[in-house]
Amino acid sequence: MASTPSAPRSARPHRGQELELTVDTLAYGGNGVARMDGYVVFVAGGMPGDRVRAEVGKAKRAYAEARAVEILEPGPDRIDPVADHPGAAWQVLPYERQLEVKQAQVADALTRIGKLEGFELEPIVPAVAQWRYRNKLEYSFGTGEGGELVCGFHAPGRWNEIVPMTDCRLASERGNELREQVLAWCREQGLGAWDRRTHTGFLRNLVVREGRATGQFQVRLITSPGEMDAERLAGVVEADGVLWTQTASLGESSAGGSTRLLSGSPQLMDDLGELRFLISPEAFFQTNTEMASVLYGAATEFAALRGVERVYDLYCGIGTIALSLAARAREVIGVELVEPAVADAIENARLNEVSNASFFAGDIRTSMRELVEEAGKPDVCVIDPPRAGLSAKVVRRIIEAGPERIVYVSCNPTTLAPNAAQLVEAGWTLKRVRPVDLFPQTPHIESVALLER
């Protein structure tokens, strides 16, 4: 008897094609996951259970990327959004459901990507505030439908379209007022937005930073090279520091360029726990101050210091973790590539009268061996890398240094997992992982992991 031929697999979709899909789950990063006869489609704006009409933006052999343009039938978890905000994609999920998904994604990354087992995955720590929690917002300038100057965020999947903000619900009310002050002044002056297609125009980005504990605000305007009435801007904006950065870069970034202080202080001041920190304009500082204290508290707990240890804080930034640990350690040594951040760290140690912490500017890949030779082998390494995680070479340098304990502060479970697996293969054991929610209404996840020899 002849076998029945299997059903043909659906043809790969093409760019611009519209599909009707049912979203099954959420991938790390926040996109919904739908399937067409086994072919995976990642759907921006889709939530589990949603039946959507989605437009394909990119199609590859194994998967496609699409954007939901209409919710045909909402899933059982979907709720009405609180705000029109492209940076709060998960606000259509109840907060408890957001936490469940984040917890599951950390577990999935560690077990599926890292092939790790036998560790304790602790319950995720919920955020203190679900809205108005960010101490730093980076806005973009654009041109509205009527030709007017607008300031807001990039529309999902639209690199050249800016969604204007009147009340950003992730920012404080005072932070919103400062953005509107700058926007009103720029309109009054007749200044135009940077055109991302033609690479012409003047106004690019606006960074508003807040000291949550101190009440200080810093405003930094990023433009193309050109002229404006800088003194008048400084007189209009009611902030503790007003800065102007000019950059000729073709890419859109608030980093780099030449920065000029127009008024006030070049550094913002904020508190974490009992410590006070000075923060330079481009220095990294966790954008949820209240939950950063919780995150670093977990790192301190996992480090389990007894006062006799030498601690290395790799990717130390302005010294937030290092200075939090210093009172419990014999000495703390911080390493950071960004030189202004190292200068901040040294100044912050002095500001907080911490004498057993030292900081060095350098690339961990090339400076770690020399640091170990000069300062001695670390008992504990605390690592807080960028989203891309640790390179293979940095992992090798940590292995060579041979700390008894490694505390890994991660902002990306999909890079934590392979890094932890490399360290486990080299002789450490993954003991505990504690997810901490610093970014409600978004898919971002922070975790603290403990590895011991």
- Active-site residue list: 411
Strand 217-223, strand 203-210: pairing:
antiparallel
d(CA 170, CA 175): 10
Nearest to 228 by CA among 181, 187, 257: 187
- Of the CA atoms within 13 Å of residue 56, those in its CB half-sphere come to 18
Paired residues of 159 in beta bridges: none
Q: Tell me, what amino acid is at 62?
A: A
Question: In DSSP terms, which residues pair with 246 in a beta bridge?
Answer: 223, 258
Cβ atoms within 10 Å of 230's Cβ, excluding its own? 14
| Contact predicate 407/381, CB 8 Å | yes
Buried-state track 243-270, b at ≥16 Cβ within 10 A, e below 16: bbbbbeeeeeebeebebeebbbeebbbb
What is the spatial distance between Cα 225 and Cα 411, in angstroms, rounded to a whole number?
34
- Residues with Cβ < 8 Å from 362, sequence gap 6 or more? 335, 336, 337, 371
